[in-house]
Amino acid sequence: MIYCPKCGTAQAPDARRCPNCKTRIRASRKDRKAAERESAATSGRELRRAEGTTADALGYEAMYANGTCRVSKGTYSRTVEFDDANFQSARESEQVDVLNAYCELLNAVDDDILIKVQIYAQAIDLDVWRDEMFMPEVEEDDAGNRYRAELNSIIEMRMAESRQNVRRRRFMTFTCSQPTKEKADPVLARTCESAIRLLKNMGVEAREMSGVERLRLIDSVTNPQDGPDAVTYEALKDAPGLTTRDLVAPPTFERDRQTGATRCAWGRSKGCGLYVQKYANSVKSDLVAKLAELPINQIITLNLDCWDQTEARETIEGRLTDLKVQKTEYVRKHSQQIYITDEMLPADMQDAILTAEEIRGDLVSRDQKYWGFSMTSLTWADTDEALEHNIDEVQNVVRGHNMRMEPMVGLQLEAFRNSLPVGYNGVPQGWDYNMTTAGAANFMPLTSVEINDAHGQWYGYNQISKNFIFYNRRASSSPNGFILGKPGRGKSVQAKLSIINTLLADPDSEVIVLDPEREYIALADAFGGEVVKISSDSDTFINPFDLEFDREDNGGLGTKVDAVISIIDEMCKGLTAMQQTLVDRTCSQVYADYFETRDTEDIPTLVDFMEALRSQPEGEGAILATTIERYVTGQANVFAHRTNVDTQSRFVVYDIRDLADNLKGLGMLILLDATWQRIVRNQARGVRTWVFIDELQLLLDNDFTVSYFDRLWTRSRKYGAVPTGITQNVERLLLNEKTRLMVGNSDFLVILGQSATDAAALGQVLTLSGQQVATIRGAGVGEGLICADGRIVPFANQLPKETELYKVTTTKLEDVAELRRAAEKGA
């Protein structure tokens, strides 16, 4: 055996550094040979090594920081990682568009560049996943911990239905032949830039990988026990003589002789490399997607090596000539007995002629390329039994598409190298299957989009892939959002779930709800929130002239003037240009003392504002003051008092259900401005403010209100606010130019069931596919689409009825009545 000189642990015969302490192993050649013989004798396995070290099993020579890899002398590669897209669930016409775009991408690559398309499906550590996604307990929050535990248990219960145990990533590696790296870099950079641009034209986000990212991807396969950041270039500075290959080399690499050299092993992993031995005449575009959906460790690799166009045409034309000669011979031989037509030729001859003519037409008339194509799968597991299960799963999927996949006999090392993202093609050239670009595009690597952000809020599961949806709105560049849906489709339930997630997962933030229909009281009671009731007969008042000093906005007066103009416009049902000027001037006058003293006692009220209007030299001021008099001294004077609400709660619900219907729009606008003042105050304290505005359509009655609302929406992120509008009236939202743009520019949308007209209108604004429009048109309760940072997925999110979370979020009349009866019985 070989032992580490520092920590004393036993090492593999070909170990160059200790995996525990990273100390370099300096065993003699004689000791290594003895250890190899001992290992082979005890395990029945033979070490498979290229040049005496497992680093040679990687299939490359050097990895540079800029992302370029030297595969071998004169051969270099770079890798692009790209996201998934909704292809398999799209309509046939939409799939055709994506296939055409993918063909354009393949055709755009220079003929002398090898393309390697790969899908990495790797099992994740469920304990690590739980640490990332589950809500941890919070000290001294027993009530909140009860809900955290219940939410975690719901996710745990549904894990069996999901494919959450496998993480899938997609890559495209381009390999070129150039004498030096300096000559290869511009060629590869240009190819990657073109591929990224064309992928984005398909609606697929893509990015070029750096050298350390490629190394970490390799290390996730060769040394899965390492952490995600274990590999760094800095490690080489402290270890002279080591290369990047030493950082990511597997501890061992073996070929099992007992299985006819059709299995391999590295470290603790037992693997098998398979290749497609028999291809079908036509391939459905869901083959790769079906393979990728398997819940196993697997790397699917598609190698595309372009023929020289002249050679390809000559080859196909020569083949077509041979077939025509065979046809002539067949006709000559049988025509003495009967007249032979084309339909009477043998079926295989007819098919061969038709295929050759189609290929020639593709190459000559449709400017397609001709490819040497191969498809492989490297799958691995911890035990031999699990590995055999994986192999059966892969072969069954391929067999279902009239193809055959078999282990690569005696070439398991080549299969391993072929599967790493370095650009090495380990499939013998004679195993290639020749096809045009259209044929290669049928091996489509796209399936469905996922939203799976670490430490994000839970939004149910993806209806296509069954994977959970976790989205982190705080990390979004534009966290503003909307929740849209017809009555009874679960808008308020989805809003309440978002509030619950925020209260439980973001304990330093505040949540404010504008509640016109008294739907959030039970939630406030359950989570220790404060309900502020605003009505004509209540003794709770909000002064619309409250003003927090704003460092970003000239003290805050500019935004306040806009708010007052909108409020007075709502009272008067319209303002002339002159009246707007009077309101602006009067605002500056009534705030003069407050700006001088900074004493809250000097904050003006609506009474002060009306009196200042009457004192304006223009007669229009007195008329305007008389117009708003009913809101100051009349029956609607609920907003003419100083604020007497001094809530310190981090969860506040403004209840305005008992306001008269003709005052609700005004009340919503004043409370929205009061919320903005709190946002400004929270920004100074470094506190994030989440705002939920239900029945948003009440704010859309006039242009001034919409303009003010739009300004708040665009400025929220800078002030640490996360606003969410909730409405059933999608048509009114989309009819206004400003609110339509607000919807289109929001990074977060929950779109529940819609009417046919609203679904079509949303489809135009958000450029949804036909299938996505159909999804929201036919969605049930708690179902629809989630749009998050450009990712659009069909989702479902229904809570089990027996849970406490369901009880505090449901708005169904029968559920509320049943809960009330249970509470009365319990009391």
d(CA 147, CA 90): 37
d(CA 557, CA 548): 9
Residue 85: is it exposed, middle or buried by C-beta count within 10 angstroms (0-12/13-18/19+)? buried
| Residue 522 or 336, more confident | 522
Terminal Cα-to-Cα distance of the chain (whole angstroms): 74
- CA 307, 309, 314, 317 dihedral sign is positive
Would you tell me how many other CB atoms lie within 10 Å of the CB of residue 40?
A: 15
Q: What is the pLDDT of residues 676-700, one digit of tens each?
A: 999 999 998 999 999 999 998 888 8
Q: Do residues 166 and 299 lie in contact, with contact meaning Cβ atoms separated by under 8 Å?
A: no
Beta bridge partners of 800: none
Give the helix, strand, coil percentages of the chain, each rounded to 5.
Answer: 45, 20, 35
User: Could you give the C-alpha distances from 807 to 126, 164, 812, in angstroms and in order?
Assistant: 30, 27, 10
Q: What is the pLDDT of residues 278-317, one digit of tens each?
A: 988 778 888 998 999 888 999 999 999 988 777 777 776 6
Report which of 821, 778, 537 is spatially closest to residue 656, judged by C-alpha positions. Answer: 537
| 3-state class (DSSP) for residue 547 | coil
pLDDT for residue 33: 47
Burial 562-600 (b: 16+ CB within 10 A, else e): bbbbbbbbbbbeebeeebeebbeebbeebbeebeeeeee
pLDDT for residue 180: 94
pLDDT for residue 343: 63
Report which of 587, 638, 285, 255 is spatially closest to residue 445, judged by C-alpha positions. Answer: 285
**CB neighbour list of residue 595: distance below 8 Å, 6 or more residues apart:** 555, 557
What's the pLDDT band for 23 if we cut at 50, 70, 90? low
pLDDT for residue 30: 46
- The amino acid present at 784, given as its one-letter code, is G
User: Could you give the C-alpha distances from 820 to 272, 491, 651, 824, in angstroms and in order?
Assistant: 61, 22, 23, 6
Q: What is the pLDDT of residues 125-162, one digit of tens each?
A: 777 777 778 888 888 888 889 999 999 898 888 776 66
| Residue 815 or 52, more confident | 815
d(CA 142, CA 187): 60
Q: Do residues 493 and 783 lie in contact, with contact meaning Cβ atoms separated by under 8 Å?
A: no
* Residue % of the chain over a pLDDT of 90: 44
Q: Do residues 457 and 500 lie in contact, with contact meaning Cβ atoms separated by under 8 Å?
A: no
Report which of 187, 214, 204, 189 is spatially closest to residue 63, judged by C-alpha positions. Answer: 214
What's the pLDDT band for 611 if we cut at 50, 70, 90? very high
Query: Which residue do the tokens 């890798």 mark?
Result: 79
| Residue 511 or 431, more confident | 511
| Residue 620 or 284, more confident | 620
Q: What is the pTM of this model?
A: 0.75
Strands (E), 327-422: 370-381, 404-407
d(CA 279, CA 409): 18
Would you tell me how many other CB atoms lie within 10 Å of the CB of residue 323?
A: 18
Q: Do residues 771 and 812 lie in contact, with contact meaning Cβ atoms separated by under 8 Å?
A: no
Tally of residues, the chain: 827
Residue 255: is it exposed, middle or buried by C-beta count within 10 angstroms (0-12/13-18/19+)? buried
Please give the full DSSP string across 594-644, using - where no structure is assigned. HHHH--GGG---HHHHHHHHHTSSSHHHHHHHHHTGGGTTSTTGGGSS---
Q: Do residues 729 and 699 lie in contact, with contact meaning Cβ atoms separated by under 8 Å?
A: no
Beta bridge partners of 725: 482, 693
Q: What is the pLDDT of residues 442-479, one digit of tens each?
A: 899 988 888 888 778 889 988 887 888 999 998 888 88
Q: What is the pLDDT of residues 503-519, one digit of tens each?
A: 998 888 999 999 998 99
pLDDT higher than 90, residue 357: no
In the numeric block, which tokens belong to residue 674?
Answer: 């009061």
